[in-house]
């Protein structure tokens, strides 16, 4: 198993553009909201179900960071891309991806602080450091807007690779606050949760969205049916319950359009990096 995960992680890091790899497999790309190992484990039941239903090999891939994931999706490397609403909107407008579904549970970002620490309101963060998952992750972008809206636009934000790392560093006093999602906060151990306090919470935003590459448009009904049939399996119900996701649902008509502001920031970031 360790060897398999290692091989899959290496494949994730060195996956070539769409024109350079085999289309013999159906590629399910998942944004790096946690470690590659955890993502591969989480999506294994769906991978197996899609392989059986679509009658073809299915691979689960992620990326080392959100920017790399976005570039790969825009280059057409994934058949389905599972990502938060702002990237989903970018993939829709800039690469023609088709929205399939999202989760029933609300998606919200939160600012976490140490429960016994000195931070009791936004102004207490002045001159302090904060943590995010990536400069273009939805929770971090929301956090940066929240800081700016509270007159704290100059508060430095450092980036780490996983939500549990954000929480541990805040508890350890290495940062005054950290930005993550409610879902990832709820997945922390009870001991770690007990040492944290939610300082601020975002409005409900589009969470993880399943986006279909438009090259698969002729198979949209088949692929969509495969996802909905997975939702009825015992494995899916355990997954939904363990991650407090509530199951699948269709997106509201303008739900992704509401992400335009954040999608534009991702686009700008990718363009700036591309110019370097």
State the pLDDT at residue 183: 86
End-to-end CA distance of the chain: 39
Categorize the per-residue pLDDT at 118 as very low, low, confident or very high, splitting at 50, 70 and 90. Answer: very high
Q: Which residue has the higher pLDDT, 56 or 36?
A: 56
Dist. CA 36–CA 12, nearest whole Å: 8
Q: Tens of pLDDT along 252-274?
A: 989 999 999 999 999 999 998 76
**Cross-strand partners of 236:** none
Q: Is there a contact between 248 and 228 (Cβ–Cβ < 8 Å)?
A: yes
pTM of the model: 0.82
Residue 14 clears pLDDT 90, i.e. is over it: no
Categorize the per-residue pLDDT at 17 as very low, low, confident or very high, splitting at 50, 70 and 90. Answer: very low
Write out the DSSP string of 58-110. Answer: EEEE--SSHHHHHHHHHTT--SEEEE-HHHHHHHHHHH--EEEEEESS-B-EE
Dist. CA 140–CA 209, nearest whole Å: 18
Report all structural domains of the chain as residue ranges with CATH numbers, in order of start. Answer: 2-105+206-275 (3.40.190.10), 109-201 (3.40.190.10)
Contacts of 24 (CB under 8 A, 6+ apart): 56, 57
Q: Tens of pLDDT along 190-205?
A: 999 999 999 999 999 9
Distances in Å between the alpha carbon of 270 and those of 76, 82, 176, 211, 275?
A: 16, 19, 28, 19, 9
Contacts of 203 (CB under 8 A, 6+ apart): 108
**Cross-strand partners of 27:** 59
How far is Cα of residue 118 from the mean position of the Cα atoms in its chain? 30
């Amino acid at each position: 198993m360790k060897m398999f995960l290692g091989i899959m992680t290496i494949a994730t890091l060195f996956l070539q553009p769409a024109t350079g790899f085999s289309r013999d497999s159906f590629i399910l790309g998942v944004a790096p909201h946690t470690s590659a190992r955890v993502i591969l484990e989480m999506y294994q039941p769906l991978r197996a179900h899609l392989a059986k239903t679509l009658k073809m090999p299915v691979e689960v891939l992620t990326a080392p960071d959100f920017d790399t994931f976005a570039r790969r999706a825009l280059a057409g490397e994934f058949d389905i891309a599972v990502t938060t609403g702002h990237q989903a909107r970018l993939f829709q407008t800039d690469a023609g991806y088709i929205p399939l579904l999202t989760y029933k549970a609300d998606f919200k970002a939160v600012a976490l602080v140490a429960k016994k620490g000195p931070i009791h309101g936004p102004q207490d963060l002045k001159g302090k450091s904060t943590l995010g998952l990536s400069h273009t992750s939805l929770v971090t972008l929301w956090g940066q807007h929240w800081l700016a809206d509270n007159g704290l636009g100059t508060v430095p934000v450092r980036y780490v690779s996983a939500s549990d790392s954000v929480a541990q560093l805040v508890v350890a006093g290495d940062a005054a606050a950290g930005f993550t999602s409610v879902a990832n906060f709820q997945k922390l151990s009870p001991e770690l949760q007990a040492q944290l306090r939610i300082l601020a919470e975002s409005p409900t935003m589009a969470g993880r969205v399943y986006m279909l590459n438009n090259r698969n448009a002729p198979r949209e009904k088949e692929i969509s049916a495969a996802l909905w049939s997975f939702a009825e399996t015992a494995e899916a119900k355990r997954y939904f319950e363990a991650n407090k996701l509530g199951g699948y649902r269709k997106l509201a008509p303008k739900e992704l359009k509401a992400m335009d502001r954040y999608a534009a920031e991702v686009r700008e970031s990718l363009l700036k990096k591309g110019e370097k």
